[in-house]
Amino acid sequence: EDKVVQSPLSLVVHEGDTVTLNCSYEVTNFRSLLWYKQEKKAPTFLFMLTSSGIEKKSGRLSSILDKKELFSILNITATQTGDSAIYLCAVGTETSGSRLTFGEGTQLTVNP
Amino acid sequence: EAQVTQNPRYLITVTGKKLTVTCSQNMNHEYMSWYRQDPGLGLRQIYYSMNVEVTDKGDVPEGYKVSRKEKRNFPLILESPSPNQTSLYFCASSPRGWTGDNTQYFGPGTRLTVL
């Protein structure tokens, strides 16, 4: 059974801090790993990673994948209160059609 | 505006009363999917559809039905809702299933309470 585990489950920081969110996976025939941000509404897409070692970056957010060690990290630098959200990691495989397996999510709270 | 819409946004019902949650997308996407989100369990896939008339079970399909008669619509049907189906439901769509960039676009969510 495909498995995606995120850590920590919850994190509280102060504005300006840098945070690292973790996502590890155990799947057969890995294809891609996706990160989503969920505020008080629907998840919005952040990154899709398919290759090891290639960093994807968008403003203060960046992410990288390690296919050998089966994990990804999402970094957020100089956090702002608007970064407060649930961050979801999802993995898709070559053999499961269009299915995505999601982790439990990391609840990030950024205090002023 | 490109979007995924769901209706209703909020629904309170009673055990056993059939209900349908509609989902529609205006982006001509091939792939559509339903998820439920519960505290501590993340997003779990209920059903998905690769294209018209092609549907398949996700991780938690029991108690749900879907249909894909048109490309834009993917309704979720609960024939006999039970309290354990109380959850937040999301519909999502993607241009293609698993070829290339398959970013999924989510609807606004439907909060369902079954008493």
Asked whether the predicted pLDDT for residue B1 surpasses 90, the reply is: no
Most B CBs within 10 A among A100, A101, A102, A107, hence the mutation to make, goes to A100
A2-17 pLDDT tens trace: 899 999 999 999 999 9
What is the band of A97 on the pLDDT scale with cuts at 50, 70, 90?
low
pLDDT at A3: 92
Q: Which residues from B are below 8 Å from A when comparing CB atoms?
A: 4, 31, 33, 35, 40-45, 48, 50, 56, 58-59, 90, 94, 97-98, 101-109
pLDDT more than 90, % of chain B: 77
Could A97 and B58 be called an inter-chain contact, meaning their C-beta atoms sit closer than 8 Å? no
| Chain A residues closer than 8 Å to B40 by CB | 104
Distance CA A39, CA B109 (A): 12
Other Cβ atoms closer than 10 A to B51: 14
Distance CA B97, CA B94 (A): 7
Report for B17-21, B29-33, B37-41: range of highest mean pLDDT:
B17-21
Helix (H, G, I), strand (E, B) or coil at B102: coil
What is the rounded average pLDDT for all residues in chain B?
92
Distance from CA of B97 to the nearest CA of A (A): 5
Could A97 and B35 be called an inter-chain contact, meaning their C-beta atoms sit closer than 8 Å? no
A32-89 pLDDT tens trace: 899 999 998 889 999 999 988 889 999 999 999 999 999 999 999 999 999 999 999 9
Pair of tokens at residue B4: 């995924």
pLDDT at B98: 55
Asked whether the predicted pLDDT for residue B97 surpasses 70, the reply is: no
Asked whether the predicted pLDDT for residue B99 surpasses 60, the reply is: no
What is the band of B66 on the pLDDT scale with cuts at 50, 70, 90?
very high
Helix (H, G, I), strand (E, B) or coil at B105: strand
* Residue A46 forms contact with B (CB below 8 Å): no
Region B101-111: mean pLDDT is: 85
Asked whether the predicted pLDDT for residue A21 surpasses 90, the reply is: yes
Per-residue CA distances from B83 to B28, B46, B70 (Å) = 34, 17, 30
Letter string b/e over residues A2-23, b meaning 16 or more CB atoms within 10 A of that residue's CB? bebebeeeebebeeeeebebeb
| Chain B residues closer than 8 Å to A23 by CB | none
- Contacts for A40 with CB less than 8 Å, ≥ 6 apart: none
Nearest of A48, A111, A100 to residue A74 by alpha carbon: A48
CB B2 within 8 A of CB B72: no
What is the band of B96 on the pLDDT scale with cuts at 50, 70, 90?
confident
Q: Can you tell me which residue has the tokens 């008080």?
A: A40
Pair of tokens at residue A30: 């890995």
Asked whether the predicted pLDDT for residue B92 surpasses 70, the reply is: yes
What is the band of A100 on the pLDDT scale with cuts at 50, 70, 90?
confident
Could B48 and A92 be called an inter-chain contact, meaning their C-beta atoms sit closer than 8 Å? no
Could A41 and B50 be called an inter-chain contact, meaning their C-beta atoms sit closer than 8 Å? no
Distance from CA of A77 to the nearest CA of B (A): 24
